[in-house]
Amino acid sequence: MTARPIRNFLEMIGILQRGLVAEKLNEALATTVETLQALPGGKGKAVITLTVEVACDQDRIDVLPAVKCKLPEDKAFARTPFWAFEGALSTQHPSQMDMWSAPRDATPPRAEGGADRA
């Protein structure tokens, strides 16, 4: 039997752990795409990291792969603004507290002194 040298990185990845590493990378890619498409707002970023540790022990070379997938955090909730008011939270801005306290007269002011125009 003749030894067949492997000089292609992708070919090496394909045979690591009898194909389990490539399968894990495919799963990470599928999960990443699915997660990004489901994000509210349609924006996000994920990172798939493949680390390949190569160690030499005399005539033997050991290859140890690691696959990590960092998905975006769930942003299902939006920020809600509150203001501090009397030692608690308020949904009203302090300078607008009296804005809706009572109905206001919406009639235009009358001009003083002058006759009505016909």
**Could you tell me if 61 and 33 are in contact, meaning their C-beta atoms sit under 8 angstroms apart?**
no
User: Taking the alpha carbons of 65, 74, 90, 93 in that order, is the dihedral positive or negative?
Assistant: positive
* Per-residue model confidence as pLDDT tens digits over 89-107: 777 766 665 555 666 677 8
| pTM across the whole model | 0.60
Q: In the predicted model, what is the mean pLDDT of residues 46-68?
A: 96
Per-residue model confidence (pLDDT) at position 59: 92
- Spatial neighbors of 39 by CB under 8 A, at least 6 apart, are 72, 75
Per-residue model confidence (pLDDT) at position 12: 95
pLDDT at 52 over 80: yes
pLDDT at 25 over 70: yes
Beta bridge partners of residue 38, listed in sequence order: none
Task: Give burial (CB, 10 Å; 0-12/13-18/19+) of 12.
Answer: middle
More confident residue, 91 or 29: 29
**Could you tell me if 63 and 12 are in contact, meaning their C-beta atoms sit under 8 angstroms apart?**
yes
Q: In the predicted model, what is the mean pLDDT of residues 39-51?
A: 89
